[in-house]
Amino acid sequence: GYRVGCFAGLKVTVTGMTIPERSALREAITKGGGIFVPMLTKDCTELVCISPCDPGSKKYKMAITWKVPTVNKQWVLDSTNQLAMQDEKRYPVVLAVPQSTGTGATGLPKQQTSRSAGTPQPSA
């Protein structure tokens, strides 16, 4: 009874995990027929992130740039338990809220300049 694993054809890496978590995920992915790789490359099919994930993580930023799908580790666990790859959209990565760095959600400084947009500036 040969069965194609739930991760067959996938190339997966992880970010933000402890060594025991990483080992358990590697084992689940390889047992499920996937390829576990230590580094994120453009041909990776998934990035499994600790949740909440550091939005500044190099692997996370590259995954977004390269359009590599990101999922939380429950995706691996549920796919393994169901013996079928689960819908990635149901396992979104929650981004950690960075501690106050002086920037707002847009990345712009929180304090706006005191000039209002419509006021002409005096020439120097």
- What domains lie within the chain, and their CATH numbers? 11-90 (3.40.50.10190)
Q: Which of 16, 19, 5 is nearest to 79 (CA)?
A: 5
The pLDDT assigned to 51 comes to 85
Q: Which of 80, 79, 81, 24 is nearest to 50 (CA)?
A: 24
The structure tokens listed for 25 are 């995920």
Distance CA 63, CA 42 (A): 8
The pLDDT assigned to 97 comes to 84
Map residue 108 onto helix, strand or coil: coil
Does a cis peptide bond (omega within 30 degrees of 0) precede residue 20?
Answer: no
Using 70 as the pLDDT threshold, list the residues of the chain that sit under it. 1-3, 98-124
Model-level pTM?
Answer: 0.74
The pLDDT assigned to 118 comes to 55
